[in-house]
Amino acid sequence: MSKDRIWTLMSRKLSGEATEAELSELNELTKIHPDTDTSLQFIDQYWTVPAEKDEDFLEATFLLHSGRLNEKGFDLELNNNETGSFSLDFAQQQPNRKRRLFIATAAVFTVAILLFVFINATKNTASNRKEKIAQSEVSTKNGSRTKIQLPDGSSVWLNSGSKLTYDNEHFGTGVREVSLTGEAYFDVVKNPAKPFIIHTAKMDIKVLGTAFNVKCYPGEKTTETSLIHGSVEVTLKDRPEKIIMKPNEKLIINNEEIKPLKINAAVQPQKVPLIKDKPIIQLSHVTLYPTDNSVVETGWVESRLIFSEETLEEIALKMERWYGVKMVIKNEKLKKELLTGSFEEETINQALDALQITTPFVYKVNNNTITISK
């Protein structure tokens, strides 16, 4: 116990804080424990040896930290020397005071920096946590599908390569809003006081309570909404009209704008007939599969890949997402071939073999890429 007291008193002596009584006590204890005297003398000599100082390093370090602290509201007074630069003058201090000043200065910097880092880390963590809680996002990769339930009880099935986002903090407070990229089937809980709105790149869909399918994949030629039951109000982006849909109706929006033909100014202007490809907006009925009258647009919800009188090019896009592969059609004529079919548990090879029966073609599989040609 007395040896512990020796080290305590020695620490106070080295720091210059020991009283006369404590110094006398230390002297008496070293007599009782002579084995500690050599160690104490060595420590005392080492402590009083002047440390080699690197004034350039100390000055640069001090200015760096003081500048950072000043930026954050810590006001440190610096002494200006004759050269006009700011520095800490350790030469005028006694050895023990020099170390105390250096330790104290380092402690101030360390505490201030740690406090700054802690405050910012806490702030960033709280901000990230709040953002994570407020924004909910559900996405699916190609080859996978999922079903989720929203906070209001509405169900959403997400097709392959799709993403649904919504504000989890404010969802349902006034309106129920979600944003969709890809394809999803919605079964919305009815609540007239809080309309349900789906935002897509080309349109916004407002419903009260209904079941419908929305397909809005980036890069595809069309955006589609297929209503199964209930009613929806569709507002088109950059267009004034609103469309009220009825059950079993399908709305198709052409994503590709029809650009006017350029006419050479040097040529006498003539009336050029309008080239009609597909209407920008088309309202029709949902497609029924001829074998069992299943709705083609929502077959994927029941794990069925259904297509009726669709081009091989359109079917290839569906198969890419369904099987998680890349499909390349080398023949332009093959792209336009119309096909009808339904697949459930078939592999990609079995599906392609079945399509070959009605439309002769050859295909080659290379890792994850399938090439189709004549």
| pLDDT surpasses 70 at 184 | yes
| pLDDT surpasses 80 at 369 | yes
- Straight-line distance from the first to the last Cα atom of the chain, in angstroms, rounded to the nearest whole number: 96
Span 249-276, average pLDDT: 53
Question: For the chain, which domains are there?
Answer: 2-48 (no CATH), 55-132 (no CATH), 143-254 (2.60.120.1440), 304-373 (3.55.50.30)
| Region class of 179: left (phi > 0), else alpha (psi between -120 and 50), else beta | beta
Q: Which helix (H) or strand (E) holds 329?
A: strand 326-329
Task: Report d(CA 29, CA 15) in Å as an integer.
Answer: 19
Q: Is the pTM of this model over 0.75?
A: no
Alpha helices, H only, 35-154: 37-48, 55-71, 95-134
332-360 tens-digit pLDDT = 999 999 999 999 999 999 999 999 998 99
